[in-house]
Structure 1
């Protein structure tokens, strides 16, 4: 038959003609929110190519219902060409249609901050000086808090980046100064902890589930350069379902995980210091893409304005400061920021009270000759690098506090002298036995309880690292006149 192609469309109408054709199920995939899907089918390179037939099911009332299953003969993609797109048109009115996704044009790159509660502008920006890399405190006039634990940089990647060939990114770090701000030499280390995003979908049994999608490190064989610890920019066409950061806000908003507690093999003392973080962009071949090459602006790096958490107000951005851009051979190739890391724990200890050189006895009693006798109060409230605050209190009987001190460790506070975290103060016995209210009476004999807490200032950007806190073991003592000894 010379003109068989002319009658082929009519053969499709003959259902009995195609009765002998069968198909085997080779894959079941779920579309994303825009109806897109993909999968891999293995076959021999030489020989017949696969013939593909599709049918579609849609969850209606929690039940997977067939909404598209045309005849095999007229709707099979014979000798499918690998990588080519297949468009399936579903006309069943029970299936929701896909609206165009609103876009924000431009190759934007916005560095928001670290974690939920530290914005970019809340980190000391100067690239020199002892305060660099600390959180801003007191208007930036006094040292703030260091970072510790797992740091999670938050970054917004513009929607046009992937379409313009910028598909991957990488965060790296290197130590630039020790805890005393003395310069050290180090190489770049790529951050390699897994980064994921969760997506909600309805399983075939009708149950709602949340599936993680791994952004990196990317092991896709399409990358021509391996071992670079590259991470995907969150794709425009994600897997089936919709992004659900509510499942785990840490995992779903982090662009990387800087595990500072593991630095130097977990030795917090050696790991303390200032670190430079670097953010680079790459294409799918593993080639680094410059932000600006002197002639063309490929990427527009900006930083969030204001303090986090950003709340319900509009968040503005400013161009990234020049000090935060890495320039090589006249090209802006990366963004950088400095963080000061300190995972050292606090120290806390309450020392026995004394009159002269005599301490309270093992039963807690301390005898005074006159109420003018000086009682020595002392305790240790220490942090190796003074990144802690303390609160010391003495309660008497059931009436409440008779003595207290608090503040930043490392300096005298509330009349207490300080030397390497050791605090000391002399008060009279009369001061501790005094009346606490205008109508109250002073005591001749009294029992007291001492408490001490030392709280670390380090933060991971979400909260203060309270596991580095230490409390002194509470002590009790009683003051009584020496005349009691003769009774």
Structure 2
């Protein structure tokens, strides 16, 4: 950009050199661009189109960085002329203010940071880097710029909530401590309590806590509360601006207001390296306020870019960002696998996980294995102990979870593959036992190949236009391909950069490979299965590999591999090649939850109104009956009884455990019904002679696909009753 000053006199106006003018339509899309000729603009647009456009004049940004959207143009220190067309459809821009021209200078601002996820490794939590994650960097509109544009009815609703005239809206689940420290704002008195019972069922990382609404009062300063009561719409806008330190933390918790008070535009994207680090630069005008930056992250899951980190914009914006300041992003999404893996040396097939979290080495392989639970024997063959640390009922780190739905079989191949002898692989399966662990039929125990599902491996390449670098996801087809008389899948090379994949020096992919996705509902019913991994050459001839080729994770340290032991290899008596084999328990059956009407002195509570009469407060019993079950006991349950609005726990009426046997307070009968008796006096508590009660039963299926817990196998029931004397 040239640096001539603006000179104005009665005869002419001289504008700086190096300006550009951009025209946008009402929808915010860029229509045309041009450079001024003197103090006039000439666009290649029809008059009818230009008359309704919005035009912005500014110094031409560095190549490729001109604002593509209307919102981006509005953010800049640009001049927006009034659209009055001359005889040649020109627009006069001779009225550019001097003070605006003085702001027309550019400087480069750079940001850097790291993306990690926390994993439990060898008994301790460690932050592991996420490589090749796509980080989106966005700029948030200044708060003060948008407040004048908020409609009156939105301001009225915001005021009514702050003054508690209408219920407090349920907030967005907040993940990790919000970045309030990034803005000079105090935390509000928390109107939302963090409750242990509201913990989300997180897989593969630390638990995600969900914010639950409580009845706490919003503690606004008295002076602000008084002004809110009587403020007009304009006074309300001024009050929000003047007292933004008071209001912004509350806005963070209420998503319904975000579209009105916050706007975010993407300025660039960047990939993380093998240390999880990223850096990017963007241009700003020298007198513009410091940028307010927001970051969100995508990661390739099953070959598709998937959003894994996108927290609330107002809670996680880095306000007044200092160029060069380190940004730390911790992903908690359960689908994201651990860390970034360097290539393995040699001919290795490290069979890592089912899904992105269920370590193969944590799946019980002994057919006779069992645990004792609630006085019963529970057989654990083929079950995983993945994500059991928070189950309770003595089930922590026990093999109790079956597999269901679609299972991704994840393998990391070493640099020695593909080789001249080994170019393809194939998975096969057989059913060895039914869902009751009784031997399957002879026909079911025959091996069947998994060779019909199309598989590919995703990789990314960089695409540069000007100074902007973007990323494209492409796919390397793995098969199935005919090899001789068989069908198999190509082993992907250690790097996608070569001519056999991308032929591009910027190509990258994760060293982990989803080698097969198994739809368990298409197998031969629920039961215990074995999955076998075999290797072939290009002619379709099966290859014998050393036992040390097949590896699994060290059960005590999942970041290390070790040769698969005999439990994971077929015996030489059955197959002289001793291929890799793993046992997996499959179950796709749902749980059951039923609350039956209570009975007191031979009377059952009415289904319609729920009232039941008792004879004597001291001697009458309330008989509770519930059904919490699963055909193969793959579930836990909790049952709670609440009196009125009281928060006092009715311990003698509550229970929980695995659906396998009797629990505290409740006895499981042969008809799969849990029963318990509680004295009327105990339930009434401080209530004189009558009270109403709510019953809640939730049955949690233990099923997993190795990436998440499958809530679709849960069941629940609600009921209510009221006690009154005869």
Distance 2:396 2:624 in 1: 34
1:373 aligns to what? 620
TM (normalized to structure 2)? 0.45
Q: Does 1:426 align with 2:665?
A: no
Q: Could you tell me how far 1:166 is from its partner in structure 2?
A: 1.3
Unmatched 5+ residue regions in structure 1?
A: 1-60, 64-101, 265-270, 435-440, 483-487
Indicate the SS of the match to 2:654.
strand
TM (normalized to structure 1)? 0.66
Task: Tell me if structure 1 keeps the 8 A contact 2:461–2:508.
Answer: no
Q: Could you tell me how far 1:443 is from its partner in structure 2?
A: 3.6
Task: Tell me if structure 1 keeps the 8 A contact 2:421–2:543.
Answer: no
Indicate the SS of the match to 2:522.
helix
Task: Tell me if structure 1 keeps the 8 A contact 2:425–2:533.
Answer: yes
Q: Does 1:190 align with 2:449?
A: yes
Distance 1:348 1:243 in 2: 48
Aligned 1:27-426 pairs, distance under 5 A:
104-129=344-369, 130-136=379-385, 144-184=400-440, 185=442, 186=444, 187-191=446-450, 192-202=452-462, 208-218=471-481, 223-226=483-486, 228-234=487-493, 236=495, 237=498, 238-239=501-502, 240=504, 241-244=506-509, 253-264=513-524, 271-292=525-546, 300-306=549-555, 310=558, 315-328=559-572, 331-361=576-606, 362-371=608-617, 372-400=619-647, 401-402=649-650, 403-419=653-669, 420-426=671-677
Task: Tell me if structure 2 keeps the 8 A contact 1:190–1:229.
Answer: no
Distance 2:688 2:555 in 1: 54
Q: Could you tell me how far 1:207 is from its partner in structure 2?
A: 5.5
Distance 1:406 1:431 in 2: 20
Task: Tell me if structure 2 keeps the 8 A contact 1:62–1:207.
Answer: no
Aligned residues: 352
Distance 1:216 1:389, change over 3 A: same
Task: Tell me if structure 2 keeps the 8 A contact 1:120–1:305.
Answer: no
Task: Tell me if structure 2 keeps the 8 A contact 1:119–1:307.
Answer: no
Task: Tell me if structure 1 keeps the 8 A contact 2:625–2:676.
Answer: yes
Task: Tell me if structure 1 keeps the 8 A contact 2:344–2:413.
Answer: no
Task: Tell me if structure 1 keeps the 8 A contact 2:424–2:488.
Answer: no
Indicate the SS of the match to 1:463.
coil
Q: Could you tell me how far 1:450 is from its partner in structure 2?
A: 0.7
Indicate the SS of the match to 1:148.
coil
Structural RMSD (CA): 2.8
Q: Could you tell me how far 1:447 is from its partner in structure 2?
A: 0.8
Structure 1 residue runs of 4+, over 6 Å off? 137-142
Q: Could you tell me how far 1:235 is from its partner in structure 2?
A: 5.6
1:448 aligns to what? 693
Task: Tell me if structure 2 keeps the 8 A contact 1:324–1:336.
Answer: yes
2:76 aligns to what? none
Which protein has greater RCO, CA pairs closer than 8 Å, 6+ apart?
Answer: 1
Q: Could you tell me how far 1:300 is from its partner in structure 2?
A: 2.2
Once the two structures are overlaid, the 10-residue window that deviates more, 319-328 or 166-175, is: 319-328
Indicate the SS of the match to 2:544.
coil
Distance 2:64 2:405 in 1: 42
Indicate the SS of the match to 1:147.
coil
